[in-house]
Structure 1
């Protein structure tokens, strides 16, 4: 049975890394003593080792030992043997490229479908949808495919931002970009605001956190989804 936390972000303003989610993660990873961290999304500024250490320090109070996927000679085997998996944020184009290049996209998909608990934040959440095409990231590298894990039957837009009332900015809003996506693509897109996450158990998908999410469907008006709503019907 699938068991996922799909979070818009890892860090809220004024808080520490994953701090707002720690009580949820203590329950989500209950019974796990180790976690496999996927650091592939970081294009620079922090090494895979340092990124993994940040995650290890965060999970230490939960008595969960963290190893980075980059530390293993056989990444696909490491995924298959993982007790739990966390994919962190960064650039989604880079993350997806590395997942394909290291032959672990299907391995992660199979592991999670077979019950390995999964946590994603930002880019690590983007890849839980059908494709990565609704990411906010710049295409700094060209992945072999835009297809991703398809662990939920729609696309995601983490870090969703509403237009600022009174702003004189004339550029496209997130809503505009998603509407452009729907000129060509049919799958729904869920805009996750900061501090929101999806809780997936089996085929049940529930919006958690204190904020609403914004749902976009082709040829329909966007709608606000209340926290606590069951989204299992969405496809």
Structure 2
């Protein structure tokens, strides 16, 4: 499998995808055509136009799956698919409804389709939706996602702010709660970071690194460029007891 999993599509003060444009360009490769899945936002046309404008200077043509009669046929002939960010629950529900969860999943796992995700699209690459930050504005049939990687990802990971007076849970506390009930690593991707997977090799990219959470362990700091390939050998365990 060939995956590019971005934490976010837009960095503060920069245009859409500008922080990762060279990486995206390299990932798309010689065929300058990208199939885009805009289902995480309500306005599919506007979202597709944003992606198209960002990639046009690189000579890349963007086709929104919502513009064709059969999205599955579009995906079946695509070489690269980009699943954009927004609300992960809305995205997953629509992937099930359109049959794209199966079509994209089968082709990516077979090595016939390269997969790029951002935010919600990156959430889809994990086995389940359980570590998303999003509000469940709709109810998908299941929390099961593509499962391209055998661990969880938390895009937009925010480190605790020591001077903050906010009394709600931090992102770290929420991930620790997840690990009380599940035994599977969680990769907290900070803004401006991404994960590139090619076959059995996985490496962090971008500027800000990541934090790796594991059950019964303290979080581990991961730096840009770090090889995280051992994570691909993970055996995830869900719904286990705290002592399990």
TM-score norm. by structure 1 comes to: 0.95
Corresponding residue for residue 53 of structure 2: 57
Q: Any gaps of 5 or more consecutive residues in structure 2?
A: 235-244
Per-residue Cα deviation, 1:148-171 (whole angstroms, up to 9, x for no partner): 111111011000001112111111
Aligned residues: 231
SS at match of 1:59: helix
Q: How far off is 1:52 after superposition?
A: 0.7
- Residues 42 and 89 in structure 1, CA contact (< 8 A), matched pair in contact too: yes
Is the aligned partner of 1:228 residue 2:231? no
Aligned position for 2:23? 24
Structure 2 distance, partners of 1:129, 1:201, is 16
Q: Distance in 2 between matches of 1:7 and 1:158?
A: 8
**Residue 39 of structure 2 aligns with which residue?**
40
Unpaired runs of 5+ in structure 1? none
Match in the other structure for 2:101: 105
Pair 1:84-2:80 in alignment? yes
The residue matched to 2:50 in structure 1 has which SS? helix
TM score, norm. by length of structure 2: 0.92
CA distance in 2, matches of 1:197, 1:213: 9
Q: Do 1:3 and 1:115's aligned partners in 2 also have CA atoms closer than 8 Å?
A: no
Contact map agreement 1:86 1:118 (CA 8 A) in 2: yes
Tell me the residue number matched to 2:180: 183
Name the counterpart of 2:118: 121
The residue matched to 1:159 in structure 2 has which SS? strand
Partner of 1:169: 166
| Displacement over 6 Å in runs of 4+ | none
Secondary structure of 1:183's match?
helix
Aligned partners of 1:41 and 1:88 also within 8 Å = yes
1:176-217 CA distances to partner (integer Å, 9 max, x unpaired)? Answer: 101111111111110000000001111211011122211111
